[in-house]
Amino acid sequence: MQLTVGALLAGFAAGFSVQHGARPATTVQKRCHSPLAGPLAEDIWTKSPTVRVEGNTLKTWNLASESTQRVQLSLRSEGRPINTNVELWQTPSYIPTHFKIYTEDGRARPVHAVIETPFSPKTVAVFNTGSATFPFEANVADTGLGKAYDEAFGDVTPELVQGAGSLKSYTFGPEVKSVAVLLKTVEKNMKAKIELTQGPNQVKQVIELYASKGYKNPFYCVIQTPGSENALRIINQNTVEFPFDAYVVPDETGSASDADPVMGGM
């Protein structure tokens, strides 16, 4: 299913804190861009057919066109949890990338991600691992939009996340409504965990991903962060020989401002 969508997500950068060690806190000024185009289609639910995925059910999307370089994956529910495994099938025996998703509330925190599909044949598989009482809606579409890095991260400096369980933590103010995340490597595979928490340690969303080639199949998603006291953790679950770059920026804020946000690093 191929679709060209003109509407793009736009966000305004806002302040957030990056924590990754015991070094003294530093303050960095980052210019606010208004607006920023993103690689996701905002009106995906009205422009592309939606499929209901019942509990313990597999749905597949065959991407027949060789010109389809990437697709947008969007998942939502009526407020129930979402538990799903998503895979990109290139051949029956080769899965170049796959990820497992949990979100506590599929209405407040729907899933929006980009799956790179540079080679053919290719099929996207979505398996609802939840029970029959937890269905969700899924949308997989070729939006015709560009790569995440080119669209939104060209002027952003990434954080290098080393292997062996190395962790980067980001905290956001209540004005940040969603966060854009891009994970990629230079030439190696990638195994990572993205975790959104709220309050002391309430897990609201978890994404565990693997890409056999993190430079050909980088992972991009937008995570909704309603409310306050949100924190994002990115963990490298691979060995020390396999670091990756993490790009994390506010995607949407509660109000537009021309002021420079303050980003504090530790």
Higher pLDDT, 18 or 118: 118
In the chain, where the domains are located: 13-39+158-266, 41-145
Higher pLDDT, 37 or 92: 92
Structure confidence at residue 121 (pLDDT): 92
Q: What angle do CA 91, 163, 114 make, to 5 degrees?
A: 45
Using alpha carbons, select from 75, 60, 59, 65 the residue that is nearest to residue 4: 65
Using pLDDT thresholds of 50, 70 and 90, give the confidence band for residue 90.
very high
Span 74-101, mean pLDDT? 95
One-letter-per-residue 3-state SS of the chain: CECCCCCEEEECCCCEEEECCCCCCEEEECCCCCCEEEEEECCHHHHCCCEEECCCEEEEEECCCCCCCEEEEEEECCCCCEEEEEEEECECCECCEEEEEEECCCCCCCEEEEEECCCCCCEEEEEECCCCCCCEEEEEEECCCCCHHHHHCCCCCCEEECCCCCEEEEEECCCEEEEEEEEECCCCCEEEEEEEEECCCEEEEEEEEEECCCCCCCEEEEEECCCCCEEEEEEECCCCCCCEEEEEEEEEECCCCCCCCEEEEC
**Whether the Cβ atoms of residue 124 and residue 115 lie closer than 8 Å to each other:** yes
Span 178-190, mean pLDDT? 93
Using pLDDT thresholds of 50, 70 and 90, give the confidence band for residue 37.
low
Mean pLDDT of the chain: 83
Write down the architecture of domain 13-39+158-266 according to CATH. Sandwich (2.60)
Instruction: Return the structure tokens found at 136.
Output: 């969700």
**Per-residue pLDDT reduced to its tens digit, 190-242:** 999 999 999 888 999 999 999 999 999 999 999 999 998 899 999 999 999 99
Share of the chain above pLDDT 70, in %: 81
Q: Do domains 13-39+158-266 and 41-145 have the same CATH topology?
A: yes
Using pLDDT thresholds of 50, 70 and 90, give the confidence band for residue 181.
very high
What is the C-alpha separation between 266 and 245, in angstroms, rounded? Answer: 17
pTM over 0.85? The answer is: no
**Per-residue pLDDT reduced to its tens digit, 59-75:** 999 998 889 999 999 99
Structure confidence at residue 26 (pLDDT): 24
Higher pLDDT, 146 or 260: 146
What is the C-alpha separation between 123 and 139, in angstroms, rounded? Answer: 14
Using pLDDT thresholds of 50, 70 and 90, give the confidence band for residue 255.
low
Residue 10 has pLDDT above 80, yes or no: no
Higher pLDDT, 246 or 262: 246
What is the C-alpha separation between 101 and 61, in angstroms, rounded? Answer: 18
Using pLDDT thresholds of 50, 70 and 90, give the confidence band for residue 81.
very high
Buried b (16+ CB within 10 A) or exposed e, 67-82: ebbbbbbbbbbeebeb
Structure confidence at residue 91 (pLDDT): 85
Using pLDDT thresholds of 50, 70 and 90, give the confidence band for residue 261.
very low
Higher pLDDT, 38 or 146: 146
For the 41-145 domain, the top CATH level (class) is: mainly beta
**Whether the Cβ atoms of residue 169 and residue 233 lie closer than 8 Å to each other:** yes
